[in-house]
Amino acid sequence: MVKIVTDSASDIPAEVAEELGIAIVPLYVRFGSEVYRDRVDLSTEEFYRKLITSRTFPTTAAPGPGDFAEVYDKLAEETEEILSIHVSSKFTVIYEAALRGKEQMKRKCRVEVIDSLSGVMGLGLIVIAAAKEAQKGVNLDQVADVVREAIPKAHVYMCFDTLEYLRRGGRIGRGRALLGSALRVNPILDIKDGEAHPVGRPRSRAKAIEKLYEFARSFTNIRDLAIEHATTPDEAEALAQRLSSIFPRERIYISTVDPVVGAHVGPHVIGVALLER
Amino acid sequence: MQKREKAGSAASWSGQELRGMFTTATSWLEKSAPDIDALNVFPVPDGDCGTNMLLTMRSAVEESYHASDRNASAVAQAMARGALMGARGNSGVILSQIFRGLARGLEGRKSFSGHDFAASLTEGAMLAYKALTRPVEGTILTVAREASFAAQSACAQSEDLLSIMEATVKAARDSVANTPTLLPVLRQAGVVDAGGQGLYVVLEGALHYLKGEVEEMQYRRPQVVPSSIPLVSRIPAVIEKEEPYGYCTEFVLEGRKRLSLERIRKRLDNKGQSLIVVGDENLVHIHIHSFEPGKIINYATSLGTIHQIKVQNMDDQHKDYIEMTKAQAPPADIATVAVVPGEGLAQVFRSLGVTATIPGGQTMNPSTRELLQAVESVPQDRVIILPNNKNIIPTARQVPGLTSKKVEVVPTETIPQGVSALLSFNYDADLETNASMMREASSTVKTVEVTRAVRSTKIGDLKIKRKQAIGFVDGELTSVGDNPEEVLWDVLLGLDTEGSEVITIYYGKNTKRSKAEEIVDRVRQQYPLLEVELISGGQPHYHYIASVE
């Protein structure tokens, strides 16, 4: 069976990854001189506590080619085909690292690396779709085709209470148009062609969440739907309840923004990701 | 940290506190360095002014920890030495002169007063002028001079360092805002002077320390001062220059014998641009933009040993800068032009991404020509005009017929309507869609305005005496009273806030912030579920403009 690999910028809930046999290569997050592997050495809760209380701004690092080679080699013990799907190459060098990692492998195994041009659960939903396809027992090319078709159909809306984290991390892209507001606003960005784009900036959080709701509702052919949040599970749940009118509640994934992504989006982000049919 | 209460004691600030002021100033500047880099167009658009000033400040602060004593004099001397050794770039060197002035002014003093500080700052500004062979106005020099002048004037009113610094920072801010008026290259590039902005941030940081706001600063960052004249957003193409810039050459010269600044200056004067020679007879910091850095260094080594040598190809730096400004260029291909009274409001509009602002409003309606000029001056060929006043709408409607650009007028009648319209701007939508979405957004906000009656009159059941405060909701008179705060309160109480989420109150030029804060507290208590935000609008005529949405 084709094995599916992604990175921890996909925000796939741990239990979903486990159930579908998705291998997640962790990114690194650093507070001062302490280095942690995303979700491995540092739990999500612990991370946000540190993000809010620590005086030092965390920095993040992509896994190296060696990390990928290690994961690929390990999987190669049980498979001949690996599909590695990663966060947009416009945000990080992970995609490059994965390509290098493939070259550094010791074992022989076919590995295909794909740039998802997305991130967070936009990437997550693509990866989940790939894993489900792989479970059907089809070959690598067939799974890769499904992924390439899914990429333009993945959409993400993220609502921020501040773009400061994104700016400091240098991932703001075209979203910089919404920076520096003298009024308190709730900027909303989407990910298009691998980059963050400005969508709008409602004055109140309630209006912003309303916008997320309307965004999801504007699609009639939703295949998968996810809500993600950093530290506000109640808000995410309330949104999921509202969205249950357009998509079965039990099929809506609720995921927590991973520490590495959290370092770039801040502790109060909430977002909706969906994959069209 | 507690608020300092030192109003009564004139000469009570210690060396440690002096260091504290500039340590805080350095961390404040650090937050702003990239913004300042992006403003950098004069003398060379190389985009490193903020970084250079930051490195200079760091060096000054670091050295202050090696001071021989903790008294004010020793700390100031150490900072001056550190600044001179660590100075980088034009603005960094000029900054080092301000520290030198501080060191001179505080020489021999254990502690210092507000008056001492003001005098030292003036000394520093003077030294800064002297450091340049051809001082240019509209730069950090002007800001240093005007700020120190304000400090001196404030001394007449108070001995308290805090109030003197408040006046200084305010003057620095005004001075920065005025730099595009003085220096054409800034006006063309659509920016205020980077070095001036840097100095303002440094002074503001020091003021934060004096006010005991070090904790709060963590959550805030310095704002770039908006220009006092209307500017269009920066267009990278305008500042792209054809001619090469050469090498930025900088080093510290330690003389074998006594050095003469005058002689060095004369000798290097025709060897390049932006020459700065500062220091004393033992140690001199030299900065010059030259095509032949080798000759400069040869000459210097004939006089002594050279240290901290930095030679940078400015054409490379300039390329990086162009890239940087491109990355920051406005992504929208539709421009927005807004008529706005008051600098505070103009700043709000700019922060929300408006392409150009035109000063104007009640009793100061801009002409068709002014609106047309603004429309023509923006790089985009599709433009949305937000008149933000009922009387300006007809003028704005003339513009589409006078230009080859495609222009839509979104007939906003008030500032809150204009803000709502601007906030709903969609970067992906076309001109017509944006105009209609903005129109719709502007209709969802309620506007409250409080002003004073210019004459006695009677409207409906309301009898109004001249100079009484009057309140309007969406242009309808609803309340009369003796003071603006009461009227605002009365108007807000009368509003139906069902379904509203945010109240924004912009207080005017002639309204005290403390009064506005009081009323905001009352509003918050009355409406605990609403978000209430207070903004300095600086608008004339209207004590308060509020939006309820």
At residue B1, the pLDDT reads 41
Q: What is the mean pLDDT of chain A?
A: 91
pTM, rounded to two decimals: 0.60
Using alpha carbons only, give the angle B509, B518, B476 rounded to the nearest 5 degrees: 60
CA distance A88 to A119: 6
Cβ contacts (< 8 Å) between A176 and chain B: which residues?
Answer: 327-328, 331
Instruction: Give the mean pLDDT of B103-126.
Output: 94
At residue B4, the pLDDT reads 46
CA distance B534 to chain A (A): 9
DSSP conformation letters of A5-49: EEEGGG---HHHHHHHTEEEEPPEEEETTEEEEBTTTB-HHHHHH
At residue B321, the pLDDT reads 59
Flag whether pLDDT at B133 surpasses 90.
no
> Which residues of A fall below an 8 Å CB-CB distance to B?
174, 176-178, 180-185, 197-204, 206-207
Angle between helices B89-105 and B114-131 (to 10 degrees): 140
Nearest by CB to A183, which of B427, B428, B533?
A: B533
Question: Given CB atoms, is B323 within the 8 Å cutoff of chain A?
Answer: no
Question: With bands split at pLDDT 50, 70 and 90, how would you rate the model's confidence at B458?
Answer: confident
Within a 10 A sphere around the Cβ of A57, how many other Cβ atoms?
A: 14
Q: Which residue of B lies nearest to A207 if distances are taken between CA atoms? A: B501
At residue A48, the pLDDT reads 85
CATH code for the part of the protein at B446-548 = 3.30.1180
Helix (H) or strand (E) holding B184: helix B184-189
Contact B531 A183 (CB under 8 A): no
Are A206 and A212 in contact, with CB atoms under 8 Å apart? no
Which residue type occupies B202?
A: V
Question: With bands split at pLDDT 50, 70 and 90, how would you rate the model's confidence at B227?
Answer: confident
Assess if CATH 3.30.70 describes domain B247-320.
yes
At residue A240, the pLDDT reads 97
Of B363 and B260, the structure prediction assigns the larger pLDDT to: B260
Contact A198 B330 (CB under 8 A): no
- Which residues are CB-neighbours of B175 under 8 A, at least 6 positions away? B142, B143, B146, B147, B196, B200
Looking at chain B, the whole-number percentage of residues with pLDDT higher than 70 is 91
Flag whether pLDDT at B345 surpasses 70.
yes
Q: What is the mean pLDDT of chain B?
A: 86
Contact B331 A200 (CB under 8 A): no
User: What is the number of H-type helices and E-type strands within chain B?
Assistant: 21, 16
Interface test with A, best of B446, B502, B531 (most A CBs within 10 A): B502
Cβ contacts (< 8 Å) between B426 and chain A: which residues?
Answer: 199-200
Q: Which residue of B lies nearest to A162 if distances are taken between CA atoms? A: B219
Flag whether pLDDT at B487 surpasses 90.
yes
Q: Which CATH architecture has domain B15-225?
A: Alpha Horseshoe (1.25)
Flag whether pLDDT at B540 surpasses 70.
yes
At residue B3, the pLDDT reads 42
CA distance A276 to A222: 5
Question: With bands split at pLDDT 50, 70 and 90, how would you rate the model's confidence at B233?
Answer: very low
CA distance B536 to B405: 34
What are the distances in angstroms from CA B117 to CA B63, B146, B150, B206?
A: 20, 15, 12, 12
Enumerate residues 499 to 538 of chain B having a beta carbon within 8 A of any beta carbon in chain A.
Answer: 501-502, 504, 531, 533, 535
> What is the per-residue pLDDT across B289-312, written as a single tens digit (0 to 9) for each?
888 888 898 899 999 998 888 888
At residue B347, the pLDDT reads 87
Instruction: Give the mean pLDDT of B249-270.
Output: 89
Question: Given CB atoms, is B317 within the 8 Å cutoff of chain A?
Answer: no
Are B285 and B84 in contact, with CB atoms under 8 Å apart? yes
CA distance A255 to chain B (A): 28
CA distance A37 to chain B (A): 27
> What is the per-residue pLDDT across A238-268, written as a single tens digit (0 to 9) for each?
999 999 999 999 999 999 998 888 888 888 9
> What is the per-residue pLDDT across B19-66, written as a single tens digit (0 to 9) for each?
999 999 999 999 888 888 888 777 666 677 888 899 899 999 999 998
Are B312 and B248 in contact, with CB atoms under 8 Å apart? yes
Interface test with A, best of B352, B420, B422, B500 (most A CBs within 10 A): B352
Domains and CATH numbers, chain A: 3-152 (3.40.50.10170), 153-276 (3.30.1180.10)
Domain residue spans in chain B?
15-225, 247-320, 330-442, 446-548
Flag whether pLDDT at B243 surpasses 60.
no
Instruction: Give the mean pLDDT of B144-167.
Output: 94
Residues of chain A with pLDDT under 50: none
Flag whether pLDDT at B288 surpasses 60.
yes
Instruction: Give the mean pLDDT of B208-234.
Output: 77
- Least confident range from A132-136, A137-141, B241-245, B461-465: namely B241-245
Assess if CATH 3.40.50.510 describes domain B330-442.
yes
